[in-house]
């Protein structure tokens, strides 16, 4: 739907409104009721799909707010048009509001999975409106669905009404600080929630309203799912304090460096915005108040980092490094695999000689006997040249693997000031032979030191130099010296031992045991930290270009494909054991599994972990063991069956995957069937007891 069309389509119509109804005794029943209202109006394809997505969002955090209001919401592929379902309940239902009051006004915000910025802006207006008592009072007093639809449309789409007029824009910029009756104090901030629709903008409205009540200028930037309306730079510069009400990392944190900060979750602002404004006002005059770190601390405030457990912070930074490294591995690994496809297995020996000094305007003499390429695709010298180009490109990209891992691990700990020293430690690790282990340790050390420097209380005139000069300079100097003079040789020796050990394991019984361990890790948390640790271990070894490293990569990729493929098979063979939503997920899991996207099994594991994860681990272990036993190798780090050309022993690759897939699917079906029989027996027992 184009924005111009969306502008003339109302979010709410009388058919979406239900007044003075009893929708059930709990929030699950109310959500199902409103999902049915939206689907019955033709704005969602299924009641079940929309309800499942809304309930999944509800499980992450309650959507009740003080004052008898609830706003269950979600973005769902089952929504055909952005909609607001509304029910005024005769029997209030508990949605987890802080004041423990049941909700009698319930909105369901249903946004399409690909909702554009325009739709999200309209939903943000509703969220802000629900924080105004005159709006909610009018909803409670409305006599007809048409009146409710008009009230809501006046709030979110006044241009659709014949007599409507868009409200005047709020004051922005430094001039807002001079609002009549104000104290001259200016507070700015950011709000965000996981979905980025409702609580994000309700928190912003609540804080701004609390500021008005106190004669203080408060401007909050809602970092929602759509386009961000950034705070005016002059206003930020003149602000006396910052309020961060967020459940996601704050974007552009460095803008607030050095300012007193109140850092809370988004619900705290919705529930008691006045208290937060009072705390911010007190922090302005408190020289010991917490302040935003000079480097932004990775997009989070100093205060939040103090309350994050060190192990959680360490894990999060390593996962950040791995996530940013993967594109380098994917690009480099796939290009290298294409180089072998076109240039032959021996392209590593002559790629540099073929490419050096040549270009499209200066092709090598392909007729020269020295260009003979019997192992290239079709024995063609031209294919050898193309393969050499691909191989050199891939090798260049792979050279960034360790620096990217180290740089973005440091970024995860210290924000932008950690990137430069982190990259330097990664490059240094490669130079001294410490490999990815050295890069990981160097990145962590650089991140911790940069974070410590960012937290120092320095004079105001020095703060602007900290993130761009002082922190990178001193971090690189200190951590680099430590790596060179103390850690370099031990780490290099460890990497040599690890490489020699892996090489010796190839073709031995130990390789099968290694395959079992890697398979278990890949299927334990399906894309989580354990899965990523196994994947990092495999991809980091690809740069060694040894038989052992290729076999480890193949075992990891094959095992990671098993859970989604097995669940796709299980839902196809016995669909009656699964819900409609799970059957839909099962159809999508065929492609996800074939592409080596382990996360395709997460919806199943989240709904029934005890009957999904153990079978997945069993199948992954079988696949990993078989892959190593059959000496399957992969020169590509990702792609599943679509990088077949990069697989050594392709038949063994498929045998390994199919075996693990059958084991997992069979175990899942056995466990699901046992549960179904138990439920039938319990129902029969209850019926007999009732009789």
Question: Do 83 and 51 meet the contact criterion of CB atoms below 8 Å apart?
Answer: no
User: Which residues does 297 contact at the CB level (< 8 Å), separation at least 6?
Assistant: 253, 305, 414, 415, 451, 454, 455
Residue 555: the pLDDT is: 94
When mean pLDDT is compared over 13-22, 293-302, 308-317, the highest value belongs to 13-22
Identify the weakest region by mean pLDDT among 82-96, 367-381, 677-691.
Answer: 367-381
Give the C-alpha separation, 619 to 513, whole Å: 14
Residue 576: the pLDDT is: 84
Average pLDDT over residues 141-169: 77
Give the C-alpha separation, 559 to 658, whole Å: 10
Give the C-alpha separation, 374 to 280, whole Å: 74
pLDDT in tens, 200-211: 877 888 898 889
Give the C-alpha separation, 651 to 362, whole Å: 41
How remote is the C-alpha of 379 from its chain's centroid?
Answer: 45
Name the pairing type of β-strands 241-246 and 186-192. Answer: parallel
Residue 59: the pLDDT is: 77
Question: Do 597 and 565 meet the contact criterion of CB atoms below 8 Å apart?
Answer: no
Average pLDDT over residues 96-121: 76
Find, among 606, 533, 529, 514, the residue nearest to 563 by Cα.
606
- Burial class of residue 188, CB neighbours in 10 A (0-12, 13-18, 19+): buried
Average pLDDT over residues 312-329: 74
Question: Do 32 and 48 meet the contact criterion of CB atoms below 8 Å apart?
Answer: no
**Run of H or E including 532:** helix 529-541
Structure tokens at 384: 């050898």
Under the banding of pLDDT at 50, 70 and 90, the label for residue 260 is: very high
Largest CA distance in the chain: 94
Give the C-alpha separation, 36 to 30, whole Å: 10
Residue 93: the pLDDT is: 93
Question: Within 10 A of 479 (CB to CB), how many other CB atoms are there?
Answer: 27
Under the banding of pLDDT at 50, 70 and 90, the label for residue 592 is: confident
Say whether pLDDT at 443 is over 70.
yes
Opening angle at CA 156, ends 9 and 101, nearest 5: 120
Flag whether the pTM goes above 0.75: no
Question: Do 163 and 26 meet the contact criterion of CB atoms below 8 Å apart?
Answer: no
By annotation, the residues acting in catalysis are 73, 193
Residues of the chain with pLDDT > 70, as a percent, come to 80
Structure tokens at 52: 């499942």
Q: Give me the residues paired with residue 110 across strands.
A: 74, 83
Question: Within 10 A of 493 (CB to CB), how many other CB atoms are there?
Answer: 12
User: Which residues does 63 contact at the CB level (< 8 Å), separation at least 6?
Assistant: 57, 70, 71, 72, 73, 95, 96, 198, 199
Please give the mean pLDDT across all residues of the chain: 80
Fold of 186-292: Rossmann fold (3.40.50)
When mean pLDDT is compared over 118-132, 355-369, 517-531, the highest value belongs to 517-531
Opening angle at CA 630, ends 625 and 631, nearest 5: 100
* Torsion sign across C-alpha atoms 234, 235, 237, 238: positive
Give the C-alpha separation, 329 to 403, whole Å: 12
Say whether pLDDT at 401 is over 70.
yes
Structure tokens at 152: 């809501």
* Phi and psi at residue 222, to the nearest 5°: -85, 110
Find, among 605, 623, 621, the residue nearest to 613 by Cα.
605
Region of residue 42 (left: phi > 0; alpha: psi -120 to 50; beta: else): left
Q: Give me the residues paired with residue 218 across strands.
A: 187
Specify the higher pLDDT residue, 365 or 637: 637
How remote is the C-alpha of 229 from its chain's centroid?
Answer: 22
Residue 374: the pLDDT is: 66
pLDDT in tens, 620-668: 999 999 999 999 998 878 778 877 888 899 999 999 999 999 999 999 9
Say whether pLDDT at 69 is over 70.
yes
Question: Do 401 and 389 meet the contact criterion of CB atoms below 8 Å apart?
Answer: no
Residues of the chain with pLDDT > 90, as a percent, come to 26
User: Which residues does 3 contact at the CB level (< 8 Å), separation at least 6?
Assistant: 116, 118
How remote is the C-alpha of 40 from its chain's centroid?
Answer: 33
Please, where in the chain does CATH 3.40.930.10 lie? 14-158
Give the C-alpha separation, 95 to 62, whole Å: 6
Say whether pLDDT at 110 is over 60.
yes
Identify the weakest region by mean pLDDT among 322-326, 481-485, 563-567.
Answer: 322-326
Specify the higher pLDDT residue, 140 or 585: 140
pLDDT in tens, 12-29: 999 999 999 998 888 999
| Reduced 3-state DSSP string for 664-679 | HHHHHHHHHHHHHHHH
* CATH code given to domain 14-158: 3.40.930.10
User: Which residues does 324 contact at the CB level (< 8 Å), separation at least 6?
Assistant: 404, 405, 407, 408, 411
Torsion of Cα atoms, 475 then 446 then 327 then 346, to 10°? 90
The single residue listed with the structure tokens 């009698």 is: 104
Q: How many residues in total does the chain contain?
A: 691
Please, where in the chain does CATH 3.40.50.2300 lie? 186-292
Say whether pLDDT at 184 is over 60.
yes
The counts of H helices and E strands in the chain are 27, 12
Residue 303: the pLDDT is: 39
pLDDT in tens, 205-255: 889 888 988 889 999 998 865 557 788 888 998 899 999 998 777 888 888
Q: Which 3 state secondary structure label does DSSP give 287?
A: coil
Residue 5: the pLDDT is: 43
Residue 128: the pLDDT is: 74
Find, among 338, 350, 356, 336, the residue nearest to 381 by Cα.
350
Find, among 26, 101, 106, the residue nearest to 66 by Cα.
101
């Amino acid at each position: 739907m184009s924005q111009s069309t969306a502008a003339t389509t109302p979010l709410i119509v009388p058919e979406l409104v239900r007044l003075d109804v009893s929708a059930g005794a709990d929030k699950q029943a109310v959500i199902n009721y409103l999902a049915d209202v939206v689907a019955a109006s033709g704005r969602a394809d299924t009641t079940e799909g929309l309800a499942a997505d809304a309930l999944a969002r509800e499980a992450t955090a309650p959507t009740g707010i003080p004052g008898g209001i609830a706003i269950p919401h979600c973005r769902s592929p089952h929504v055909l048009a952005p909609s607001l379902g509304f029910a005024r309940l005769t029997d209030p239902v508990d949605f987890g509001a802080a004041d423990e009051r049941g909700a009698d006004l319930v909105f369901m915000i249903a946004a399409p999975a690909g909702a554009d910025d325009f739709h999200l802006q309209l939903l943000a207006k509703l969220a802000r409106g629900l924080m105004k008592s005159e709006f909610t009072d009018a909803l409670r007093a409305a006599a007809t669905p048409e009146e409710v639809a008009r009230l809501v449309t006046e709030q979110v789409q006044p241009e659709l009404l014949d007599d409507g007029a868009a409200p005047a824009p709020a004051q922005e910029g430094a001039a807002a600080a001079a609002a009549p009756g104000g104290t001259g104090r200016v507070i700015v901030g950011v709000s965000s929630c996981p979905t980025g629709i409702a609580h994000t903008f309700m928190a912003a409205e609540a804080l701004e309203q609390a500021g008005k009540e106190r004669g203080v200028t408060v401007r909050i930037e809602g970092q929602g799912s759509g386009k961000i309306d950034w705070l005016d730079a002059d206003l930020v510069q003149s602000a006396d304090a910052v309020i961060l009400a967020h459940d996601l990392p704050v974007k552009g944190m460095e803008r607030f460096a050095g300012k007193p900060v109140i850092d809370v979750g988004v619900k705290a602002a919705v529930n008691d915005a006045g208290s937060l404004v009072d705390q911010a006002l007190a922090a302005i005059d408190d020289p010991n108040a917490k302040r935003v770190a000079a480097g932004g601390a990775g997009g989070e405030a100093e205060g939040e980092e103090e309350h994050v457990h060190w192990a959680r912070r360490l894990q999060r930074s390593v996962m950040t490094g791995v996530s940013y490294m993967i594109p380098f591995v994917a690009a480099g690994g796939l290009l290298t695999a294409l180089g072998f496809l076109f240039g032959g297995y021996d392209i590593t020996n002559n790629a540099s000689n073929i490419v050096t000094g040549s270009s499209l305007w200066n092709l090598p003499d392909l007729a020269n006997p020295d260009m003979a390429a019997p192992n290239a695709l079709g024995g063609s010298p031209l294919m050898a040249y193309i393969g050499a180009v691909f191989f050199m490109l891939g090798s260049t990209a792979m050279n960034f693997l360790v620096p990217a891992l180290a740089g973005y691990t440091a970024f995860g700990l210290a924000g932008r000031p950690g990137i430069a020293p982190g990259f330097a430690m990664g490059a240094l690790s490669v130079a001294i032979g410490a490999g990815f282990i050295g890069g990981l340790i160097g990145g962590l050390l650089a991140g911790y030191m940069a974070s410590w420097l960012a937290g120092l209380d320095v004079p105001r005139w020095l703060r602007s130099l900290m993130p761009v000069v002082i922190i990178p300079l001193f971090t690189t100097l200190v951590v680099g010296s430590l790596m060179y003079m103390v850690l370099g040789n031990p780490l290099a020796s460890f990497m040599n031992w690890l490489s020699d050990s892996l090489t010796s394991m190839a073709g031995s019984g130990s390789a099968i045991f290694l395959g079992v361990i890697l398979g278990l890790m890949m299927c334990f948390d399906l894309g989580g930290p354990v899965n990523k640790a196994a994947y990092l271990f495999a991809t980091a070894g690809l740069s060694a270009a040894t038989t052992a490293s290729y076999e480890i990569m193949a075992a990891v990729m094959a095992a990671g494909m098993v859970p989604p493929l097995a669940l796709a098979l299980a839902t196809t063979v016995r669909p009656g054991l699964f819900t409609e939503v799970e059957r839909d997920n099962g159809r999508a899991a065929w492609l996800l599994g074939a592409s080596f996207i382990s996360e395709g099994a997460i919806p199943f594991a989240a709904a029934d972990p005890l009957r999904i994860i153990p079978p997945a681990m069993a199948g992954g272990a079988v696949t990993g063991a078989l892959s190593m036993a059959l000496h399957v190798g992969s020169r590509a780090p990702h792609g599943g069956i679509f990088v077949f050309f990069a697989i050594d022993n392709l038949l063994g690759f498929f045998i390994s995957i199919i075996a693990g897939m059958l084991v997992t699917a069979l175990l899942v079906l056995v466990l699901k069937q046992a549960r179904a029989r138990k439920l039938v027996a319990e129902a029969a027992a209850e019926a007999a007891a009732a009789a």
